[in-house]
Amino acid sequence: MTESDGPIEVGLYGVTKRFGDLVAVDDVTIAVGRGEFFSMLGPSGCGKTTSLRMIAGFEEPDRGRVELTGRDIVGVPPYKRNVNTVFQSYALFPHLTVADNVAFGLRRKKVSKSDVRDRVKRYLDLVQLNGYDDRRPSQLSGGQQQRVALARALVNEPAVLLLDEPLGALDLKLRKQMQLELMRIQREVGVTFVYVTHDQEEALVMSDRLAVMSQGKVEQVGYPEDIYERPATRFVAGFIGTSNIIEAAVTGRIGDFLEVEAAPGDRLLVPAPTDRSVSPGDRLSFTVRPEKLRVVAESEIVADRLCTVSGTVVDVVYQGVSTQLVIRTESGTTLVVFRQNSERVSDAGVPGTRTRIVWDPEFNVVLANEPDLEKELTG
C-alpha cells in the first residue's frame, strides 16, 4: 500500500460498520496526508460514502478508530469535529440567502460581525460567486448551488473537507469544468480533501492518491498512475478503464520474469510478483491495458522477449481518436486492442482477418490471487 509522505491528517484504522446484516465497511484502513486530494472510488454500495460519513460523524464505526489530526474522534458528535462536508444534494438552507448560508457555520464560532462579512466575501470570491449574496438557493443553477455548498464548508477553514459525489448532479460539460475548479480551489486553500466518487475518470484526474473500494473493502490505495498501470486486483483492473485479463500457467523463470503459457505452445513473459513466490505449474492471472498492445503483420519479425499472440479480428469499433479491435486468440481468450488513429482508418482491419498482437512484457501486471487478497492488503 502506498503511504503518503508527511503527517497524517485523517485516518480510518481497521474500521468496520454494519447496517443490520449488511457489512457496509469491512475492516478498512486508509490514511490521508495533510493537504492531500484523496479520493475514495468504487461502485455504489462499496462503502465509500459510509466511510466518509464516519469521518463526518454521521455514522459511528462498530469497530476500529477514526483519527483526525492525531486524535481519536469516535463518539465526538459531528458539530464538534473540525471537518466540513459538501453534500451530494448540496443541502443548502432554502430559507437563507447565499450569504447567510455561507455564514451559517461562523455564527456558532466567536467571529465578529465584520469578520463574518469579510470571510463570506472572501470565500464567495474564491468560488466565483461574488454578487450573489442576497439570492436564495432556489434562484441558483445546479453549478452555482454547488459553489455555495463549497464556500459554506470551506469558510469554516476545516482540517478536512469531505465531498460526497459533489459533481454527480451536474451535466458532463459542467462536471469537467468543476473538476478543474475544485483542483484549483484545493491548491489555493491547501485543505485536505477527501472526495467520494464512482466516476473513475474523475478520480484519476483530480486525486493525488485514491483508494479503490469494493464490497466494503479497500482493493488498492495508490497514485492514479499506479492504480491505472499496476492494478493490484482483478476488480481494480476491471473497474478502472478497459483491461485484458489473461489466465496462464507458469512454466519457468528468466531473471525477473516468469515464463507463462496461456495456450499450449505459446510463451509469454510477465514480471514476477515480488510479494509472493510462484513456482512452475502454478496458475496465475495477469492484466495488460489495451493501448499497450500492437497489431503487426504475420510476416513481421518480432524480438524474442516480446509477447506475441495470434488471433482473428472479431469486431472493429471506430471511436474517433482510436479504433477498438476485439480479437479472439487461438486459446479462446478475447483481447481488446486500442489503436491510435494516427494512420488511415481503413488500415485497422476487418472482422475475420487473421492477425498478430505484440506487446512489451513490462506492461503485464500479475493480479493478486483472489483468496489471498485479504491477507495481502491487511497483513
Partner 1 sequence: MSVVAPPEIPPSAAPPDPARPDPPRHRRTLPEWVKANLLLLPTSVWFAFLLVIPLLIIIEYSLGKRGVIDPVHFTWSHLRYANYKDALDPDRLPIFVRSIEYAAISTFACVLLGFPLAYWIARFGGRFRNVYLVLVIIPFLTSYLIRIYAWQVILQDNGLLNRLLGDLGLGNHHVFINHAFAVILGLTYGFLPFMILPLYASIERMDVALVEASYDLGHGKVSTFFRVILPTVSPGLVAGVLLVFIPAVGDFVTPSLLGGVRTQMIGSTIADQFGGSQNWPLGSAMSVLLMLFILAGVFVYLRRVGEEAL
Smallest gap, in angstroms, from Cβ of residue 379 to partner 1? 36
Smallest gap, in angstroms, from Cβ of residue 195 to partner 1? 16
Question: Between vectors from CA 315 to CA 327 and to CA 286, what angle results, nearest 5°?
Answer: 30
Q: Would you say 85 or 197 has its CB closer to partner 1?
A: 85
What is the rounded distance in angstroms from the CA atom of residue 182 to the CA atom of residue 248? 43
Among 31, 56, 116, 248, binds partner 1 (CB under 8 A): 56
Strand partners, 285: 247
Smallest gap, in angstroms, from Cβ of residue 151 to partner 1? 12
Residue 137 is given by DSSP the state G
Among 35, 45, 78, 271, binds partner 1 (CB under 8 A): 78
19 in contact with partner 1 (CB under 8 A): no
184 in contact with partner 1 (CB under 8 A): no
Stretches 72-80, 222-230, 342-350, 364-372: which one binds partner 1 (CB under 8 A)?
72-80
147 in contact with partner 1 (CB under 8 A): no
Q: Would you say 91 or 326 has its CB closer to partner 1?
A: 91
Q: Is 87 helix (H, G, I), strand (E, B) or coil?
A: coil
Among 7, 14, 77, 252, binds partner 1 (CB under 8 A): 77
75 in contact with partner 1 (CB under 8 A): no
Query: Burial level of 238, CB count in 10 A (0-12/13-18/19+)?
Result: middle
Q: Which of residues 291-330 bind partner 1 (CB under 8 A)?
A: none
87 in contact with partner 1 (CB under 8 A): yes
Strand-pair category, 354-359 with 268-271: unpaired
152 in contact with partner 1 (CB under 8 A): yes
Smallest gap, in angstroms, from Cβ of residue 163 to partner 1? 12
113 in contact with partner 1 (CB under 8 A): no
Alpha carbon of residue 309 to chain centroid: 31
Strand-pair category, 160-164 with 192-197: parallel
Q: Would you say 19 or 93 has its CB closer to partner 1?
A: 93
What is the rounded distance in angstroms from the CA atom of residue 158 to the CA atom of residue 179? 20
57 in contact with partner 1 (CB under 8 A): yes
Q: Would you say 156 or 233 has its CB closer to partner 1?
A: 156
- 302 phi, psi to nearest 5 deg: -115, 140
Residues 246 and 258 sit within 8 Å (Cβ to Cβ): no
257 in contact with partner 1 (CB under 8 A): no
Smallest gap, in angstroms, from Cβ of residue 73 to partner 1? 14
Q: Would you say 158 or 224 has its CB closer to partner 1?
A: 158
Residue 146 is given by DSSP the state H
89 in contact with partner 1 (CB under 8 A): yes
Residues 32 and 218 sit within 8 Å (Cβ to Cβ): no
Instruction: Please spell the DSSP secondary structure of 17-54, one letter per residue.
Output: EEETTEEEEEEEEEEEETT-EEEEE-STTSSHHHHHHH
The residues, any chain, with a CB within 8 Å of residue 105's CB and separated by 6 or more, are 84, 152, 153, 155, 156
Give me the residue label for grid cell 486492442. Answer: 337
Among 51, 84, 144, 145, binds partner 1 (CB under 8 A): 84
139 in contact with partner 1 (CB under 8 A): no
The residues, any chain, with a CB within 8 Å of residue 345's CB and separated by 6 or more, are 318, 323
Among 93, 130, 177, 315, binds partner 1 (CB under 8 A): 93
Residue type, 222: G
Among 126, 148, 151, 153, binds partner 1 (CB under 8 A): 153
Question: Which of 1, 30, 7 lies closest to 216, judged by CA?
Answer: 30
- Which residues form the interface with partner 1 (CB under 8 A)? 56-58, 77-80, 83-85, 87-89, 91-95, 104-105, 107-109, 152-153, 156
